[in-house]
Structure 1
Amino acid sequence: MKISVIIPVYNAEKYVSQAVESALQFDEVFEIILIEDKSPDNALEICRELDKKYSRVKLYQHLDKQNHGAGASRNLGIVMAEGDFIAFLDADDYYLPNRFDAEKELFKNPNIDGVYGALGVHYYSEKARNDYYKVFGDRLTTVYEKHDPKDVFTGQLGMKGSFGLIHLNTLTIRKNALNRMDSFFKNSLRLHQDTEFLFRLSYCISLYPGILDQAIAIRGVHENNRITKVDTRKINPATTRVLLWKEVNKWAESESTIPQDIRLHMKRMQRSYEIALAPTLKKWGMIVKYLFTDYKSIRSGLYNINFRKDLY
């Protein structure tokens, strides 16, 4: 295996060295691609030092040296990658020694396009633990059971009940399998671009479970995580998820092979978050309307996002 590990770097001067060194422990890692995304801290200088110190580390920036977001940075990493396999790692996270144990066996089967596993959590400070433990706890982010690849797409969409989640840090993909996708990460999404990518990826290629009952990578939680600001409602989660589902539905319109029941589910999810964003009076009016015209939207969508917290 020749694995290219892609690490987008933004405001991660304290953590990126640990991320890189956690990937360097594997002989299978052919290269580590750092995409420095105009960090406001000293991350660029740290990346330059890592590039000089390790022959497998390669540093890139966007052509205009400006900030383009994690999605665009990962896209650049995919374009620059020379390995046969692609893996991802956030700059404030790290791999565990068992990261590629399952992959080394499963990828002997040429019909397996991608493998996913379980993500653990580490709090970098007591303040981070106090602020975010209610969000992440000590739980694994994982798909709860081993599923057939044909069920991963609908499972990720939330159509199969308690399915669980794939995290990008635990995903390894054959690079040539990405040719089946019309695009990689959506630059229009500054958050949840990984979720949208995983939706489309699970539709286009065959994703198999690796190690699901123990962590193969670790999410590092600190006070400046972008996504934790959404998860703890410092940013209204409905705002970013409306944008996510708009992109998902836009893609679905171009895929004529997606069944109608799945298309309806996608539209219901978008509608649910739109209702959650509406002012209270307007929101109640929309709820009454949909209760009469499309009850399933309320049941499947609004139940999933616990909209009642926003109504009072």
Structure 2
Amino acid sequence: MRISVIIPVYNAEKYVRDAVKSALQFDEVIEIILVEDKSPDNALQICQQLAEKNDRVKLYQHPDKGNHGAGPSRNLGIEKAIGDFIAFLDADDYYLPNRFDAERELFKNPDVEGIYGALGVHYYSEKAKEQYYQLFGDRLTTVYKHYDPKDVFPGQLHMLGSFGLFSIDTLTVRREPLMKKMKSLFKAHLRLHEDTEFLFRLSYYLDLYPGILDKAIAMRGVHENNRITKVDMRFIDPAFSRALLWKEVDLWYENENNISEEVKIHIKRMYRSFEIAKAPTFRKWGMIAKYLLIDYKSIRSGLYNINFRHSLIS
């Protein structure tokens, strides 16, 4: 296997060295692509040092050297990648030694277009643990059992009950079907949950297989300045950011003729449920009353997702 590991880098001067080191341990990794996204800290200088010290580490910036977000940074990395396989890693996360154990075997089957595994949690400080333990705990982010590839798309859409989740840090895909079958990669205008939206579409277009699900193959690094946790929990209501995500999914499926009516209805319900959840209290109950009258299934789904929305944060 020839794997390209893509790492978007923003405000991660404390962590990017360990991320790169964790990827360099694998002989299959032929290159680590750092896409520096105009960090306000010293991440660029550290990335330059890493690229100077190791030929496998390659450093890029956006053509205008501006800040464009994680999605466009990953897109640039994919564009530059030369490996037959693409893997992703956030700059404050890291791989474990078993990261590609399942890939070595499963990718011998040419029908396997992508493999996903389980993500663990590492708290960089006691303060971070105090802040975010309620959200992440010590739980694995994983799919709960081995599913057929045809079930991954409805499972990611929360149509199969307790399907679980997988992280982009634990995903490895064949470059060729990724470029041929995906009509677009990461959505440039999404600053939150762009990876979740990408995984929804990826699981629709590609056959994704389970790898190691019962133990971590990579670790989510949790600290006080995590992008998702800080933005989602302090500045933006999680329901608001999720409503934007499901609005994007709603727009996507309208252009896909092969998606079943059942899936389309479910996507519409999920979008409605987070629209309700982000509404002001006085408006929220009016919306609930409306949907109780015209669409009981939608509101039942909506109430479920209001009550358990924190478990859906990626």
Q: What's the TM-score, normalizing by structure 2? A: 0.96
Secondary structure at the aligned position of 2:173 is classed as strand
Which sits farther off after the overlay, 269-278 or 162-171?
Answer: 269-278
Alignment pair present for 1:53 and 2:22:
no
Residue number in structure 1 paired with 2:244: 243
Secondary structure at the aligned position of 1:86 is classed as strand
Residue number in structure 2 paired with 1:214: 215
Residue number in structure 2 paired with 1:145: 145
AA at the equivalent of 2:307: N
**Identical aligned pairs, as a percentage?**
73
Secondary structure at the aligned position of 1:305 is classed as helix
Residues 167 and 111 of structure 1, relative CA distance in 2, 3 Å threshold: same
Q: Tell me the CA shift for residue 232 of structure 1.
A: 3.5
Paired with 1:209 and 1:274, the residues of 2 have a C-alpha distance of: 32
AA at the equivalent of 1:87: A
Q: What's the TM-score, normalizing by structure 1? A: 0.97
Residue number in structure 2 paired with 1:290: 291
AA at the equivalent of 1:16: V
Residue number in structure 2 paired with 1:109: 109
Q: Tell me the CA shift for residue 305 of structure 1.
A: 2.6
Give the aligned CA root-mean-square deviation in angstroms. Answer: 1.3
AA at the equivalent of 2:155: G
Q: Tell me the CA shift for residue 223 of structure 1.
A: 0.1
Number of residue pairs aligned between Structure 1 and Structure 2: 309
AA at the equivalent of 1:82: I
Residue number in structure 1 paired with 2:93: 93
Residue number in structure 2 paired with 1:4: 4
Alignment pair present for 1:65 and 2:65:
yes
Residues 307 and 291 of structure 1, relative CA distance in 2, 3 Å threshold: farther
Residue number in structure 1 paired with 2:185: 184
Secondary structure at the aligned position of 1:208 is classed as strand
Alignment pair present for 1:280 and 2:281:
yes
Q: Tell me the CA shift for residue 303 of structure 1.
A: 0.8
Q: Tell me the CA shift for residue 229 of structure 1.
A: 2.4
Contact between 1:118 and 1:211, CA under 8 Å: does it hold in 2? yes
Residues 262 and 100 of structure 1, relative CA distance in 2, 3 Å threshold: same
Q: How is 1:249-288 mapped onto 2 (pairs within 5 angstroms)?
A: 249-288=250-289
Paired with 1:277 and 1:26, the residues of 2 have a C-alpha distance of: 44
Paired with 1:195 and 1:93, the residues of 2 have a C-alpha distance of: 17
Residue number in structure 2 paired with 1:79: 79
Contact between 2:10 and 2:36, CA under 8 Å: does it hold in 1? yes
Residue number in structure 2 paired with 1:43: 43
Paired with 1:131 and 1:265, the residues of 2 have a C-alpha distance of: 33
Residue number in structure 2 paired with 1:27: 27
Alignment pair present for 1:201 and 2:202:
yes
Paired with 1:16 and 1:270, the residues of 2 have a C-alpha distance of: 35
Secondary structure at the aligned position of 1:66 is classed as coil
Contact between 2:232 and 2:241, CA under 8 Å: does it hold in 1? no
Secondary structure at the aligned position of 1:282 is classed as helix
Paired with 1:230 and 1:46, the residues of 2 have a C-alpha distance of: 25
Q: Tell me the CA shift for residue 234 of structure 1.
A: 4.4
Segments of 5+ residues of structure 1 without an aligned counterpart are none
AA at the equivalent of 2:112: I
Contact between 2:238 and 2:309, CA under 8 Å: does it hold in 1? no
Contact between 1:119 and 1:219, CA under 8 Å: does it hold in 2? yes
Contact between 2:103 and 2:115, CA under 8 Å: does it hold in 1? yes
Segments of 5+ residues of structure 2 without an aligned counterpart are none
Paired with 1:149 and 1:195, the residues of 2 have a C-alpha distance of: 17
Q: How is 1:130-141 mapped onto 2 (pairs within 5 angstroms)?
A: 130-141=130-141
Q: Tell me the CA shift for residue 238 of structure 1.
A: 1.2
Secondary structure at the aligned position of 1:74 is classed as helix
Paired with 2:5 and 2:38, the residues of 1 have a C-alpha distance of: 20
Paired with 1:308 and 1:24, the residues of 2 have a C-alpha distance of: 36
Q: Tell me the CA shift for residue 116 of structure 1.
A: 0.3
Q: Tell me the CA shift for residue 308 of structure 1.
A: 11
Paired with 2:193 and 2:246, the residues of 1 have a C-alpha distance of: 10
